[in-house]
Amino acid sequence: MIINPPRIKYPKTYPKDTLSGQKIDGIAVANSVKERVRVAAKVLREEGVTPCLATILVGENPASMTYVSNKQKACTEVGIETKDHKLPESFSQQEMNLLIDLLNKDDTIHGILVQLPLPKQLDEFSTTSRISPIKDVDGLTPYSVGLLSSGRAILKPCTPSGIMELFDFYKIDLSGKNVVIINRSHLVGKPLYHLMLEKNATVTTCHSKTRNLKQHCLAADIIVTAIGDRSRFTLTADMVPDGAIVIDVGTSRENGKIVGDVDYENVIKKAAFATPVLGGVGPMTIAMLLKNTVTAASISKGFVSSR
Ligand code: GUN
């Protein structure tokens, strides 16, 4: 059972000197999702299905290596097996297609994760499109994308669905809210647009060619930023309206430290809620991957319909 924190009533106007928002605790919410996944994985094992995620990592990008290793550790913690495929930087498209075809056919594998980005000889679209839609735990195949835009997705991209889970947990109602998403990628901005629209938000997607980004932000109730390069972009307090909700998906390194897109220390003094980096959206991405993997294993057993 999930025990949600009580809904906090924020006043319409804030005395400036006492204003301070609530940190959104991604670790706590991720733990509650993981607990549910652990139970689901146990039930599946009792039914003779050991949920299993195949991971594919090409090359030695240090950030990708850490992400994949964290995903594998989290799987083990909740009773999901992993099959690790670490491949050389020179891995060809033909070899990749062959590997995905083998994993698609392997009944002991329920989810396939190809860590992105890929080296330039590998085409991301061709690669992710080749994954069987019922094993598509990243929600990136054209089939999954089509279902998502129709409001019928079962396997949804992990970071956007993790953000939606945070809103749910903190009882943040999106209906009628003005949302600004600063990202238009397949992994974050585009799927999040659909998920938030589904909840009746008015969603604006901003990107590198957007003019007057600050003006867009100042008209928002909710700002989601996912640039991931602090040298190019920082969401500063002067861009955030009083009482806004700020979700930080960006991660980059600054002086050896991992930082987000948001100037959190100052933004949290103005915002109603904000996610920190670390301990905000990151743990949710992993938790939702685990959830998708047990869902995919359930589909294979016929417990969940894939349509
Ligand atoms: N690279 C960064 N985030 C992700 C993700 O959620 N899935 C995959 N496959 N690659 C990523």
CATH of the domain at 293: 3.40.50.10860
Active site residue 115: yes
Q: Check 138, 221, 261, 263 and give the catalytic one.
A: 138
Same domain assignment for residues 111 and 130: yes
Same domain assignment for residues 123 and 178: no
Return d(Cα 54, Cα 103) in angstroms, integer: 8
Measured from the CA of 158, which atom of ligand 1 is nearest?
Answer: 6
Return d(Cα 264, Cα 169) in angstroms, integer: 21
Same domain assignment for residues 178 and 275: yes
Residue 306 banded pLDDT, cuts 50, 70, 90: low
| 272-294: pLDDT as tens digits | 999 999 999 999 999 999 999 99
In a domain, 81, yes or no: yes
Measured from the CA of 64, which atom of ligand 1 is nearest?
Answer: 1
Residue 251 has pLDDT above 70, yes or no: yes
**Residue 81: its pLDDT value, please?**
98
Range of the domain at 105: 48-136+285-301
Same domain assignment for residues 270 and 292: no
Question: In CATH, what number is assigned to the domain containing residue 273?
Answer: 3.40.50.720
Same domain assignment for residues 166 and 84: no
Answer for the pair 148, 195: CB distance below 8 angstroms, yes or no: yes
Residues having CB within 6 Å of any atom of ligand 1? 113-116, 138, 158-159, 187, 285
The whole-chain average pLDDT of the chain stands at 93
In a domain, 297, yes or no: yes
Q: Check 25, 34, 72, 115 and give the catalytic one.
A: 115
Residue 29 belongs to what H/E stretch? Answer: helix 26-46
Same domain assignment for residues 107 and 177: no
Distances (CA, A) of 186 to 41, 80, 166, 171: 28, 26, 20, 26
Active site residue 138: yes
Same domain assignment for residues 125 and 182: no
Tally of domains in the chain: 2
**Residue 305: its pLDDT value, please?**
66
Angle at CA of residue 228, ends 222 and 229, nearest 5°:
120
Q: Is the dihedral of CA 190, 195, 198, 204 positive or negative?
A: negative
**Which of 155, 187, 288, 289 has the most ligand 1 atoms within 8 A of CB, as the residue to mutate?**
187
**Residue 14: its pLDDT value, please?**
43
In a domain, 5, yes or no: no
Measured from the CA of 117, which atom of ligand 1 is nearest?
Answer: 1
Q: Is 222 left (phi over 0), alpha (psi -120 to 50) or beta?
A: beta
Answer for the pair 261, 237: CB distance below 8 angstroms, yes or no: no
- The single-letter code of the amino acid at 238 is D
In a domain, 168, yes or no: yes
Q: Over pLDDT 90: what percentage of the chain?
A: 90
14 or 187, higher pLDDT: 187
Same domain assignment for residues 218 and 197: yes
In a domain, 73, yes or no: yes
Question: Residue 225 forms beta bridges with which residues?
Answer: 182, 248
In a domain, 17, yes or no: no
Residue 17 has pLDDT above 60, yes or no: no
Same domain assignment for residues 163 and 275: yes
- Peptide bond just before 117 cis, omega within 30 deg: yes
Measured from the CA of 128, which atom of ligand 1 is nearest?
Answer: 9
**Residue 307: its pLDDT value, please?**
58
Return d(Cα 32, Cα 37) in angstroms, integer: 9
In a domain, 150, yes or no: no
Residue 196 has pLDDT above 60, yes or no: yes
3-state secondary structure of 202: strand
Residue 16 has pLDDT above 80, yes or no: no
Answer for the pair 281, 26: CB distance below 8 angstroms, yes or no: yes
**Residue 301: its pLDDT value, please?**
84
* Other beta carbons less than 10 A from residue 96's beta carbon: 22
Same domain assignment for residues 120 and 189: no
56 or 10, higher pLDDT: 56
Tell how far the Cα of 178 is from the centroid of ligand 1, in angstroms. 27
DSSP states along 293-306: HHHHHHHHHTSS--
**Residue 2: its pLDDT value, please?**
38
Residue 19 banded pLDDT, cuts 50, 70, 90: low
Residue 253 has pLDDT above 50, yes or no: yes
Residue with CA closest to ligand 1 atom 2:
116
Active site residue 156: no
Same domain assignment for residues 108 and 214: no
Answer for the pair 246, 260: CB distance below 8 angstroms, yes or no: no
Same domain assignment for residues 252 and 295: no
Give residue for tokens 């974050």: 188
* Other beta carbons less than 10 A from residue 234's beta carbon: 18
**Residue 304: its pLDDT value, please?**
72
In a domain, 196, yes or no: yes
**Residue 128: its pLDDT value, please?**
98
Residue 152 has pLDDT above 80, yes or no: yes
Among candidates 93, 150, 138, 143, which has minimal Cα distance to 119?
A: 93
Distances (CA, A) of 157 to 65, 139, 194, 251, 269: 20, 5, 11, 18, 31
Q: Check 34, 71, 135, 156 and give the catalytic one.
A: 71
Tell how far the Cα of 187 is from the centroid of ligand 1, in angstroms. 7
